[in-house]
Amino acid sequence: MSKITVLAILGPTAAGKTEVALSMAEEYGYEILSCDSRQIYRHMGIGTAKPSLEEMGRVRHHLIDILDPSKPYSAFAFAEDALRIIREAHKIGKKILICGGTGLYYDILVNGGGSSLDEADLDLRDRMLEEARECGSASLHDRLRGVDPEAAEKIHPNDLQRVLRALDVYYRTGRPLSSLRKDRLPPEDIDFRAVVISLPREELYGRINRRVDVMVGRGLWSEFTNLREMGYTEASPGMACVGYRELFGVEKGEMGLEQAAELIKRNTRRYAKRQMTWFRNRAPGALIDVSDYYMSARSIIDLTQNEGLRTR
């Protein structure tokens, strides 16, 4: 039985993935499956740089606007949803093109979760370390006991690093570390092939800065206040995204919108840097600098025919 071939356009935020994916989808009849941990949330179009309504009208998109910002969504939930979409599309003769920059989502989709255990969400760890400094490491151990009692039983409350790792894995994947070790099987019926697009760092950072300016000009603050009026808070998973969490400082009077915009730019640049490091080290595929490469849909298709691009 032949495998389902699924192409993926991966890369850091603001590198131009959407444009490339749309070109490919229109020319070769793909539907696009978003691999983005922020675009899953409704009411958050500006700050997450979602494809426009016009773009989504041209090509069918999956896994965009599927949850309210109050709902958590794990990498494992993404993998389950994505596999269902890929297999159902294949049954009716449709082709799926993955497009996005959330490396953990792609990793668990392709590898079944095993290789994700050594990654870390640095921002999340910083926030948990701050909690440990303020409340003591025992508070984090109590939290771990609530989500992964098996791991908590094996880790001493004073072993902060192991507590942090277990909590980090749970919050990134939505599943306990203890259960992840038992479930590492990749989907054997799908052949994933990835192209990672990039730009020189200064050019990418310039694009990020300009994108944030555009977001502010399009009404990012109004989008944020609308979300607040709907009842979403700092504790809402969607509001923890870069581009929204910084605006709570404006709401509290701690900074102005211009200062918050600079903070969003800085945090987005840091995120993009981590994305590129991850993709270079963890995503098998062609790494393409789109600043000096003719990125046509045909050229992408040609690249993905290379046997060396197979994920497995």
| CATH of residue 301 | 3.40.50.300
| 281 plus 132 within the same structural domain | no
* Residue 299's pLDDT band (cuts 50, 70, 90): low
Tell which wins on pLDDT, 82 or 148. Answer: 82
Tokens of 210: 């300009």
Domain ranges, residue 219? 4-117+183-309
- Is residue 101 very low, low, confident or very high in pLDDT (cuts 50, 70, 90)? very high
DSSP state for residue 238 in the 8-state scheme:
G
Band (108; pLDDT cuts 50, 70, 90): confident
Burial class (CB in 10 A: 0-12, 13-18, 19+), 231: exposed
H helix intervals, the chain? 17-28, 53-58, 75-91, 103-111, 122-135, 137-147, 149-154, 160-173, 177-180, 201-218, 220-229, 248-251, 257-282, 297-304
Residue 298 tokens read as 């045909």
Same domain, 49 and 130: no
Share of the chain above pLDDT 70, in %: 85
Same domain, 146 and 288: no
**In the listed set 137, 154, 180, which residue is the last one of a domain according to the structure?**
180
Residues 6+ away with beta carbon under 8 Å from 246? 260, 263, 264, 267
pLDDT value, residue 155: 82
pLDDT, mean over the chain = 86
Domain boundary among 140, 162, 180: 180
- Give the tens place of pLDDT for each residue, 203-247: 999 999 999 999 999 999 999 999 999 999 988 989 989 999 999
| Pair 108, 147 in one domain | no
Domain identity same for 97 and 111:
yes
Q: What pLDDT, on the 0 to 100 scale, is given for residue 121?
A: 64
159: left (phi > 0), else alpha (psi -120 to 50), else beta? beta
Domain boundary pick from 146, 164, 180: 180
Q: Are residues 203 and 157 in the same domain?
A: no
Residues 213 and 103 grouped into a single domain? yes
Q: Are residues 145 and 189 in the same domain?
A: no
* Adjacent-strand bridge partners of 5: 191
Q: Is 169 in the same domain as 196? A: no
Residue with the bigger pLDDT between 274 and 246: it is 246
Does 296 lie in the same domain as 268?
A: yes
Residues 6+ apart with CB under 8 A from 268: 13, 14, 208, 211, 212, 242, 243
Provide the pLDDT confidence category of residue 301 given band limits of 50, 70 and 90.
low
Specify the number of domains making up the chain.
Answer: 2
Same domain, 72 and 152: no
CATH code for the domain of 163: 1.10.20.140
Averaged pLDDT for residues 65-73: 92
Question: Are residues 242 and 255 located together in one domain of the fold?
Answer: yes
pLDDT category of residue 305 using cuts at 50, 70 and 90: low
